[in-house]
Amino acid sequence: MGLIDNPGTLAARYRDAILTKRLASGASIDLVQEAHELGIKLAPLKQAMQILTTMGLVESEGPGRVRVKNLSTQSIQDLDFTLTRRRL
């Protein structure tokens, strides 16, 4: 499994894109299309999105789709604080 196929690595990349607003709040992601564009299998992408769902960054829009949640500045700061504490 390469880095791009690793669910944790994928989740970290999407998390960073969401927190830096490169992936906008409200953006809808078609997982099949996204996996095809990335040249990866669907399973690791689904696992990555599950990680992001648990973190409160995305939510399911139905089978095969997720949406980036609208995040307040406070919720982003809280998440950043939590992630920083985990690294220490």
What the chain holds in terms of domains, given with CATH numbers, is 3-83 (1.10.10.10)
Task: Output the pLDDT for position 12.
Answer: 93
At how many degrees (to 10) do helices 31-38 and 42-55 cross? Answer: 120
Q: Residue 75 — pLDDT band, cuts 50, 70, 90?
A: low
Per-residue pLDDT tens over the stretch 11-56: 999 999 998 889 999 999 999 999 999 999 999 999 999 999 998 8
Cα atoms in the 13 Å half-sphere on the side-chain side of 55: 26
Task: Output the pLDDT for position 29.
Answer: 97
CA torsion 20-23-25-27 (nearest 10°) is 180
Task: Output the pLDDT for position 14.
Answer: 95
- For residues 74 and 19, give the distance between their C-alpha atoms in angstroms, rounded to a whole number: 12
Task: Output the pLDDT for position 4.
Answer: 75
Task: Output the pLDDT for position 83.
Answer: 58
Q: Residue 87 — pLDDT band, cuts 50, 70, 90?
A: low
